Amino acid sequence: SSELTQDPAVSVALGQKVRITCQGDSLRNYFASWYQQKPGQAPVLVIFSKNNRPSGIPDRFSGSTSRDTASLTIAGAQAEDEADYYCYSRDSSGDHVVFGGGTKLTVL
């Protein structure tokens, strides 16, 4: 089991806002980063260092953290946002890194 816990599946209506969460004790001390993965493709970094977007990532993607929970919010989900999303951060020891189990986002 992962030290970072994600809901296995989340759905959102087209154009609506959705939040994907990642819970873990280490998130009280370390920032999460977030990755989007579509079938058959490598993951793509969408949020790093709490709420920074790499070049080319739409501004509808944002990140936040509260206590032990990091969140990825998509404001106005598009059909192309349907994918698996993973969080990633240091583990509770601080000596290693770990992925969350992943959340499958369905855009209805």
Partner 1 sequence: QLQLQESGPGLVKPSETLSLTCTVSRGSISTSNYYWGWIRQPPGKGLEWIGSVYYSGSTYYNPSLKSRVTISVDTSKNQFSLNLSSVTAADTAVYFCARDFVRGVMAYLDYWGQGTLVTVSS
- Separation CA 105–CA 54 (nearest Å): 21
Residues found near partner 1 in the complex (CB under 8 A): 2, 29-31, 33, 35, 37, 41-45, 48-49, 54, 84, 86, 88-90, 95-102
- Which CB sits closer to partner 1, 9 or 13? 9
SS3 content of the chain, % helix, strand, coil (to 5): 5, 45, 45
CB of 85 to partner 1, least distance (A): 11
Shorter beta-carbon distance to partner 1: residue 14 or 97: 97
CB of 42 to partner 1, least distance (A): 4
Q: Is residue 46 a contact partner of residue 35, using CB atoms and an 8 Å limit?
A: yes
Q: What is the CA radius of gyration of the chain?
A: 13
Q: Which residues of 56-77 are buried (b: 16+ CB within 10 A; e: fewer)?
A: ebeeebbbebeeebbbbbbeeb
Output 14 or 44, the one with its CB closest to partner 1.
44
At closest approach, how far in Å is the CB of 14 from partner 1? 26
Q: Minimum distance between the CB of residue 84 and partner 1, rounded to whole angstroms?
A: 8
